């Protein structure tokens, strides 16, 4: 479809709306017959209803226009007149005699705005087209107004009134992202309690806000928006891409359920369930939110998160590497590996956690260091910057050092490139995960944040040796913050330092598995290097807390 631009169309549609209103009789079935119609005269009819953008003010004018008996909806020039009886928008027109049951209604006047609960500063008009042979009441509202010109166009092209009405109603609900309800637009009341009434109220609020969440627009802007929507819809029964984008953007901020409906209607997205968590789909059309266009959607497990093309392409971009297999000669277990070259150095990493013996180890067990060293300074040459520390790894493999982790992270560019594709099914990160390096990192436990009640961060971290001599109760953890994508580091210090933080965290994770990644002094931090973790806050790590860790080994 050729895009009809939002900014232009918004300024032209209210002129089509000679507002017509009629309140639906709850005792009359709301469905529209699609049988072959015959024109019948209306004699001594009384109809009642409510006219609502918000409710029209007392004294507003309501007109009922007679149409020709050929079913063309052409006005004969004969009109009936009434005024709104109260500030609820109620009206009644009596002694109606028509040569055709098809009548056109218009309401003109001021109305109560949903955004301010005050009368509007400008008058508007709304329309409705109705078949009075089957009604004693009919309401005038935004939905009857938006479908009005569409009905006239369809009848002019040869459709019967019943078929034109049914088609226009189905189309207008779909355009706003809703399934067509059983009741017609003429039955709906923004003050009602039904699901259909709620839909009308949502649309009325949306229009009153001018599709803008940042401020309450002028009455003139809301009026122009009504014109734009009516004009946009009248020709083909759908909204332009730009108008749909504006509705979708408003819905994202105001009404999540409506957003999901619109994504289904316009972007071809189905339900997002836990089974679909982490799956990414290309949408049928670009969705604009906040001025940015999004072409992909990823399922969080409960709702859709949008991705632009750059995000998607970056997430799916191939990273040069080779996969392989290694065998631990101690027990014959085999492990997947991933290899790459950076800065002239070749790396081969295990792409699975080491499962030798129990598979999880205390820090000293994994390092194969005597526990007696934990609680005293160690300035010996056990852990040198340039050392290769085998620890619990197989022969010719070793525990990775901090700078080896740094080289890996810098090579892939983001921790997201190391996460297993299953990660989003366990804990949604907000990113598309492709496991571009076949590294297969998965979360092992969740730790509550100290400063955020109810917030939890996932961990997928691994043991490493330190880069310089330190006391062995000074290990650290690197993890990805689930919002900012920064790395933070836990730097254990002496027991007297940050004791309150230490107590809280130790209690929080004492029942879980701590994955120690690396040791890092604050002096190692370089703000200009995004791949060096930022020292964040501290915990005490020692064998006394009996923490266990995962191990990935690197080939010598």
Residues 62, 93: contact at Cβ < 8 Å? yes
**Domain assignments of the chain as residue spans, ordered by start:** 17-191, 262-316, 322-555
More confident: 265 or 63: 63
Say what the pLDDT of residue 234 is: 97
Q: What is the DSSP letter of 245?
A: H
Residues 57, 111: contact at Cβ < 8 Å? yes
Contacts with 300 (C-beta within 8 Å, 6 or more apart), sequence order: 272, 277, 424, 428, 430
Lowest mean pLDDT among 90-104, 140-154, 264-278, 355-369: 355-369
Q: What is the DSSP letter of 229?
A: H
Predicted structure pTM score: 0.59
Q: Order of strands, edge to edge, in the sheet holding 102-109?
A: 75-83, 61-67, 102-109, 124-131
pLDDT at 413 over 60: yes
Say what the pLDDT of residue 364 is: 63
Contacts with 92 (C-beta within 8 Å, 6 or more apart), sequence order: 46, 47, 48, 82, 85
Read off the pLDDT of residues 335-348 as tens digits, 9 standing for 90 and up.
Answer: 999 999 998 999 99
Q: Which two tokens stand for residue 318?
A: 């191939």
Cα dist from 278 to 218, 288, 416, 419, 430, whole Å: 42, 22, 12, 12, 9
CA–CA gap between residue 59 and residue 84 (Å, rounded): 5
What mean pLDDT value characterizes the chain? 73
CA–CA gap between residue 168 and residue 127 (Å, rounded): 14
CA–CA gap between residue 150 and residue 156 (Å, rounded): 10
If pLDDT is split at 50, 70 and 90, which confidence band does 28 have? very low
Give DSSP secondary structure letters for 330-390.
Answer: TT--EEEEEEEEETTEEEEEESS---STTS-B-HHHHHT--GGGTTS---SSSS-TT--B-
pLDDT at 453 over 50: no
Closest to 73 measured CA to CA, from 52, 98, 45, 54: 98
Element (H, E) at 457: strand 456-459
If pLDDT is split at 50, 70 and 90, which confidence band does 271 have? confident
CA–CA gap between residue 211 and residue 209 (Å, rounded): 5
How long is the chain? 556
DSSP count for the chain of H helices, then E strands:
12, 19
Say what the pLDDT of residue 546 is: 44
Residues 338, 320: contact at Cβ < 8 Å? no
Let me know if 103 is exposed, middle or buried by CB neighbors in 10 A (0-12, 13-18, 19+): buried
More confident: 524 or 287: 287
pLDDT at 207 over 70: yes
CA–CA gap between residue 146 and residue 186 (Å, rounded): 12
Lowest mean pLDDT among 176-190, 268-282, 290-304, 398-412: 398-412
Read off the pLDDT of residues 91-143 as tens digits, 9 standing for 90 and up.
Answer: 999 999 999 999 999 999 999 998 889 999 999 999 999 999 989 999 999 99
Closest to 159 measured CA to CA, from 219, 72, 45, 217: 72
Closest to 493 measured CA to CA, from 478, 471, 510: 471
Mean pLDDT, residues 509-516: 31
Q: Which two tokens stand for residue 440?
A: 């297969």
More confident: 495 or 368: 368
CA–CA gap between residue 351 and residue 322 (Å, rounded): 11
CA–CA gap between residue 516 and residue 540 (Å, rounded): 12
Closest to 225 measured CA to CA, from 214, 235, 236, 242: 242
Lowest mean pLDDT among 212-216, 267-271, 468-472: 468-472
| Dihedrals phi, psi of 233, to nearest 5 degrees | -80, -30
């Amino acid at each position: 479809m050729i895009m009809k631009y939002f900014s232009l169309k918004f300024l032209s549609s209210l002129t089509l709306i000679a507002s017509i209103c009629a309140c639906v009789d709850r005792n009359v079935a709301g469905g529209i017959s699609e049988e072959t119609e015959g024109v019948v005269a209306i004699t001594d009819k009384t109809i009642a209803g409510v006219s609502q953008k918000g409710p029209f003010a007392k004294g507003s004018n309501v007109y009922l226009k007679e149409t020709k008996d050929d079913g063309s909806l052409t006005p004969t020039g004969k009109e009936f007149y009434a005024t709104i009886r109260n500030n609820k928008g109620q009206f009644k027109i009596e002694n109606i005699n028509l040569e055709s049951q098809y009548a056109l209604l218009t309401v003109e006047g001021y109305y109560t705005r949903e955004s301010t609960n005050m009368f509007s500063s400008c008058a508007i008009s709304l329309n409705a087209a109705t078949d009075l042979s089957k009604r004693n009441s009919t309401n005038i509202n935004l939905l009857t107004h938006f479908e009005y010109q569409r009905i006239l166009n369809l009848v002019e092209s040869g459709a019967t009134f019943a078929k034109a009405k049914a088609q226009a109603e189905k189309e207008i609900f779909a355009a706003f992202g809703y399934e067509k309800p059983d009741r017609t637009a003429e039955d709906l009341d923004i003050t009602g309690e039904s699901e259909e009434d709620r839909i009308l109220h949502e649309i009325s609020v949306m229009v009153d806000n001018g599709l803008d969440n940042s401020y309450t627009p002028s009455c003139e802007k809301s009026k122009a928006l009504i014109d734009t929507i009516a004009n946009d819809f009248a020709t083909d029964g759908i909204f332009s891409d730009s108008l749909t984008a504006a509705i979708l953007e408003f819905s994202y901020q105001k009404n999540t359920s409506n957003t999901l409906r619109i994504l289904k209607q316009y972007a071809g997205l189905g339900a997002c369930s836990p089974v679909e968590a982490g799956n990414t789909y290309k949408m049928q059309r670009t969705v604009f939110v906040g001025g940015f266009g999004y072409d992909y959607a990823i399922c969080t497990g409960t709702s859709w998160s949008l991705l632009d093309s750059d995000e998607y392409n970056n997430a799916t971009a191939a990273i040069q590497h080779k996969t392989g297999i290694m065998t631990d000669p101690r027990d014959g277990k085999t492990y997947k590996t991933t290899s790459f070259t950076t800065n002239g150095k070749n790396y081969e990493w295990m792409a699975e956690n080491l499962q030798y013996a129990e598979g999880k180890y205390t820090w000293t067990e994994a390092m194969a260091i005597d526990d007696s060293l934990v609680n005293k300074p160690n300035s010996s040459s056990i852990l040198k910057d340039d050392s290769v520390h085998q620890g619990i790894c197989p022969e010719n493999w070793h525990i990775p050092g901090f700078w080896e982790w740094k080289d890996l992270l810098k090579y892939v560019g983001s921790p997201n490139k190391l996460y297993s594709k299953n990660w989003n099914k366990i804990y949604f990160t907000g990113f598309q995960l492709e496991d571009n390096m076949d590294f297969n990192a998965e979360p092992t436990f969740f730790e509550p944040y100290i400063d955020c009640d109810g917030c939890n961060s996932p961990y997928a971290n691994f043991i490493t040796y330190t880069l310089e001599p330190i006391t062995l109760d000074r290990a650290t953890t690197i993890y990805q913050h689930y919002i900012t994508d920064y790395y933070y580091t836990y730097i254990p210090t002496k027991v007297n330092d940050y004791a309150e933080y230490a107590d809280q965290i130790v209690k929080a994770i004492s029942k879980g598995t701590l994955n120690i990644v690396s040791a890092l002094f604050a002096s190692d931090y370089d703000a200009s290097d995004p791949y060096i973790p930022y020292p964040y806050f501290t915990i005490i790590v020692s064998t006394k807390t009996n923490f266990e860790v995962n191990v990935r080994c690197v080939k010598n």
